[in-house]
Chain A
Amino acid sequence: MFESLAASAAEVLTIQTMALMMVGVAAGLLAGAIPGFTIAMAVVLTLPFTFSMPAPQGLATMIAVQVGGLSGGLMAGILTGIPGTPSSVATTFDGFPMARGGRPGLALGLGVWSSFFGGTISAILLVSLAPQLARIGLEFQPWDYFMLVMFALTITASLSGKHLIKGLIAGAIGLLVRTVGEDEAAGVARFNFGNDSLLQGFDFIAVLIGLFAFSQLLSDVRDPVAARKSMTQRTTLQARIEHVAALKELFRHWVVVIRSALIGVFTGILPGAGGSVANILAYDQAKKNSKQPEKFGTGTSEGIIAPESSNNAVEGGALITLMALGIPGDVTAAVMLGALLIHDVVPSPSFIRDEPVIAYAIFISFFIANFMMLFLQTFMLRVFVQITQVPMYVVACVILGFCGIGVFALNNVTFDLWTLFWFGILGFVMRNLGFPLAPMILGVVLGNIAELNLSRALAISTDITPFFTRPWALFFLIAALFSCVFPLYQARVGKERWTLLYMPLVCVAISIPLFLMAIQNASVPRGIIGGIAVAAAVYLVWQRWRSGWALASPTD
């Protein structure tokens, strides 16, 4: 372990890598701060620059952009009231009132330091949990992997929008896109319609850039009047970060920091649920547990600490799933997966064991990027103020130009530019028709993994019952089914009686594969977890029975 750590440190702690990470954090901070630009877009656009770099260096740069992006959203949210990214929506609830109330420096300080502590807690959990989860992942067989991919797609679809069917359709379209070109196992052409360029399939990075960056830029300039205006009309945004006062306040609310960071990490582990979910969840929990919940929304410290600690912690969680199981937790992790594949590294449960230098490089750079973010935030605040004076259309046009050069550089093939163009149109149309893009992107990324594991499973045995009887496969199948019902549950909770049984049923259903694992592997801990799940179900039913099956309000 120490040899790998030393080798990784030697790769990451070079002047060149540090300089690239600094640029990455700065770029991420700006991308996150500009309303309309997303972190995923910044990370996707960074990818072409990292091709010629060694894998640890390229990944360190991308992680730097990601960490910067997660923290950048707070600047716009606090100073202008417009969240820079969906991950910082809740930050504006109290950040903007505090800044408007005359304490912008304290609000920024709370945001910056909460981001730092959230990111650091998440990094510690990443280092400690990823190898443990990878050990569990080694138990997975092709049947389990196939079901895990299905679960990742259904939960992403259920969490990413109001319409589950549209989300599932988007996921299926993503899977279908990945089937175009030569089949990996047999080398047989599929859906190329006589076009030789399609034999290679669509380059999935070009697809991602088209779907995410290209279509987002078009949405940003759709309103001709707004596109010509500066991103903020405030010309005198000035603030000095109050570090000492913020730290004092933060230590007073250390419980909020830790709880929110844990919410962030576990939301990140869940495929599909990213920072946009975590920051609202953490804010909600902070409000419920506060002694003065009525002060939320008026500029309270806890209202800034909670969302900022959680949204920075999300990425550690998403990286845990990516590094341990090879399944990206969110869109940015999907791009990281793409970066690893470009360097011929296939994340799987044996990834940390087989590629320790790259794995530890990811750990180290995640830690360092958080310190860099802290250092750079003060300087980037000034740059942010300047950048916000530039009209949106200028930024969008320049980035569209960058997209063109970056995508061509992927494989030096003009066909990739056509891929970017067509998928840009598709992404834009889908956005406007209410289809969430996250499931489609996961479908594109996970399509090959699903097919490969299905093929392997059927090569081992033509019997399909293991897809439903193997404990892990059953676990993911149950989780997938309940995740499909989740949007319905969310819409009807507090209104219909059947929702009272949803959570107890989840607990009972999940306990079945856990007991199966306990029996098959003689694993006592899993039996205990299964027992806890059943006990929780019984307790919930008893609680509901005692209250006469009364419908509670959704916030209870």
Chain B
Amino acid sequence: MGHINRDALIAITLLVITGTFFWASFEIREPDYGQLSPAAWPRMILAVLGILSFLMLVQAIKQTPPAVDAPPVDAESTSFVSTLASWRNPIFCFVAFLGFLLALPYLGMLVGGVLFVFVLLTLLGGVSPRLLLVHALVATGSIGAMWSLFTFGLRVILPTGSLFDGRI
């Protein structure tokens, strides 16, 4: 019996996703017209995706596991902390962008955008009085310029936010 490695887990996840979509493809309504059913093309793709995921699973299971010494007792917790630390910045970016999206209806694009860039700059760049000033200037300058370009130059109506409705 082989072992479960990262690629095997990915392949299993892909197979589950493929199965879910395949099941969902039966929800697609069949019209009385046209030669190609609206569900046919997605099912063809899903069939190919399923086969490829299965091949990936087989390939992953066949792979020889790397010979490793038994890890020390606290290695797992240490590696988890270091893994989390190595993903810290991308997680900050996701959380900050999610916050920006959730706040957008209330703060609007200008204030929300400036706040997003400022918060993210501070999370990634660190905090000190000088840095805070630089981050505030960069956030205001860059988003302000871009907002002005879209609003006045390209005549795009960007959301103003319910808190500032009609004022920004």
Which A residues have a C-beta under 8 Å from some C-beta of B? Answer: 49, 51-52, 165-166, 168-169, 172-173, 175-176, 179, 183, 185-186, 188-191, 193, 217-219, 221-224, 227-228, 391, 393-394, 396-398, 400-402, 404-405, 408-409, 412, 414, 417-418, 421, 424-425, 428, 433, 450-451, 454-455, 458-459, 462
Q: How far is the CA of A409 from the CA of B86 in the complex (A)?
A: 33
- Closest chain B residue, CB of each to CB of A412: B157
Q: How far is the CA of A170 from the CA of B139 in the complex (A)?
A: 35
B126 at the interface (CB under 8 A from A): yes
Q: Closest approach, in angstroms, between the C-beta of A36 and any C-beta of chain B?
A: 13
What A residues does B31 contact at CB under 8 A?
A: 186, 188
B127 at the interface (CB under 8 A from A): no
Residues 97-130 of chain B: 1 if any A CB is under 8 Å from the residue's CB, otherwise 0? 1101100110001000100110011001110000
Asked if residues A224 and B38 are in contact (CB atoms below 8 Å), the reply is no
What A residues does B29 contact at CB under 8 A?
A: 188-189
Q: How far is the CA of A458 from the CA of B101 in the complex (A)?
A: 43
Asked if residues A421 and B98 are in contact (CB atoms below 8 Å), the reply is yes
Cβ contact of A417, chosen from B42, B56, B101, cutoff 8 A: B101
- Known contacts being A398-B142, A404-B113, is A188 close to B38, with CB within 8 Å? yes
- Closest chain A residue, CB of each to CB of B126: A228
Asked if residues B34 and A459 are in contact (CB atoms below 8 Å), the reply is yes
- Closest chain B residue, CB of each to CB of A401: B117
Q: How far is the CA of A51 from the CA of B100 in the complex (A)?
A: 24
Q: How far is the CA of A168 from the CA of B59 in the complex (A)?
A: 14
What B residues does A454 contact at CB under 8 A?
A: 36, 41
Residue of B89, B138, B147, B150 contacting most chain A CB atoms (<10 Å): B89
What B residues does A402 contact at CB under 8 A?
A: 142, 146
Q: Closest approach, in angstroms, between the C-beta of A434 and any C-beta of chain B?
A: 8
What B residues does A397 contact at CB under 8 A?
A: 117, 120-121, 124, 138-139
Asked if residues A417 and B104 are in contact (CB atoms below 8 Å), the reply is yes
Residue of A391, A402, A405 contacting most chain B CB atoms (<10 Å): A405
What A residues does B147 contact at CB under 8 A?
A: 405
- Closest chain B residue, CB of each to CB of A53: B154
Q: Closest approach, in angstroms, between the C-beta of A415 and any C-beta of chain B?
A: 10
Asked if residues A51 and B154 are in contact (CB atoms below 8 Å), the reply is yes
- Interface pairs (30), CB distance under 8 Å: A51-B154, A175-B45, A176-B42, A176-B49, A179-B45, A185-B36, A186-B31, A186-B38, A188-B28, A188-B29, A190-B28, A191-B24, A191-B42, A222-B87, A223-B86, A227-B89, A227-B124, A228-B124, A394-B121, A398-B142, A400-B97, A404-B100, A405-B143, A405-B146, A414-B105, A417-B101, A421-B101, A424-B94, A433-B6, A455-B35
- Closest chain A residue, CB of each to CB of B114: A401
What A residues does B164 contact at CB under 8 A?
A: none
Asked if residues B89 and A224 are in contact (CB atoms below 8 Å), the reply is yes
Give the tally of cross-chain contacts (CB within 8 A).
167
Q: How far is the CA of A446 from the CA of B101 in the complex (A)?
A: 29
Cβ contact of B124, chosen from A224, A428, A451, cutoff 8 A: A224
In the A-B complex, list the 10 residue pairs whose CB atoms are closest, starting with the nearest: A183-B38, A393-B124, A458-B35, A188-B38, A401-B117, A172-B49, A218-B90, A455-B36, A179-B42, A398-B142
Residue of B10, B53, B90, B121 contacting most chain A CB atoms (<10 Å): B90
Asked if residues B36 and A458 are in contact (CB atoms below 8 Å), the reply is yes
Q: Closest approach, in angstroms, between the C-beta of B26 and any C-beta of chain A?
A: 11
- Known contacts being A185-B34, A221-B124, A428-B90, is A412 close to B156, with CB within 8 Å? yes
What B residues does A224 contact at CB under 8 A?
A: 85, 88-89, 124
Q: How far is the CA of A455 from the CA of B40 in the complex (A)?
A: 10
- Closest chain B residue, CB of each to CB of A157: B52
Q: How far is the CA of A451 from the CA of B42 in the complex (A)?
A: 9
What B residues does A219 contact at CB under 8 A?
A: 90
Asked if residues B154 and A409 are in contact (CB atoms below 8 Å), the reply is yes
Asked if residues A398 and B33 are in contact (CB atoms below 8 Å), the reply is no
Q: Closest approach, in angstroms, between the C-beta of A363 and any C-beta of chain B?
A: 27
| Number of residues from B at the complex interface, CB < 8 A | 63
B12 at the interface (CB under 8 A from A): no
- Known contacts being A165-B56, A405-B147, A405-B150, is A218 close to B93, with CB within 8 Å? yes
What A residues does B150 contact at CB under 8 A?
A: 405, 409
Asked if residues A186 and B33 are in contact (CB atoms below 8 Å), the reply is yes
- Known contacts being A218-B93, A394-B125, A408-B158, is A169 close to B49, with CB within 8 Å? yes
Q: Closest approach, in angstroms, between the C-beta of B25 and any C-beta of chain A?
A: 8
Q: How far is the CA of A418 from the CA of B102 in the complex (A)?
A: 10
Residue of A188, A189, A450, A458 contacting most chain B CB atoms (<10 Å): A188
- Known contacts being A394-B138, A433-B10, is A401 close to B113, with CB within 8 Å? yes
Using a CB-CB cutoff of 8 Å, which residues 118-168 of chain B contact chain A?
120-121, 124-126, 138-139, 142-143, 146-147, 149-150, 154-159
Residue of B93, B138, B157 contacting most chain A CB atoms (<10 Å): B93
Asked if residues A398 and B113 are in contact (CB atoms below 8 Å), the reply is no
Asked if residues B86 and A222 are in contact (CB atoms below 8 Å), the reply is yes
Q: Closest approach, in angstroms, between the C-beta of B148 and any C-beta of chain A?
A: 11
Asked if residues A191 and B113 are in contact (CB atoms below 8 Å), the reply is no
Q: Closest approach, in angstroms, between the C-beta of B88 and any C-beta of chain A?
A: 6
Residue of B42, B45, B87, B126 contacting most chain A CB atoms (<10 Å): B45
Cβ contact of A221, chosen from B89, B98, B104, cutoff 8 A: B89
- Known contacts being A189-B28, A227-B124, is A168 close to B52, with CB within 8 Å? yes
Q: How far is the CA of A529 from the CA of B19 in the complex (A)?
A: 46
Q: Closest approach, in angstroms, between the C-beta of B154 and any C-beta of chain A?
A: 5
Asked if residues B138 and A398 are in contact (CB atoms below 8 Å), the reply is yes
What A residues does B139 contact at CB under 8 A?
A: 397, 401
What A residues does B146 contact at CB under 8 A?
A: 401-402, 405
Cβ contact of A49, chosen from B45, B120, B154, cutoff 8 A: B154
Q: Closest approach, in angstroms, between the C-beta of A97 and any C-beta of chain B?
A: 33
Asked if residues B93 and A217 are in contact (CB atoms below 8 Å), the reply is yes
What B residues does A51 contact at CB under 8 A?
A: 154
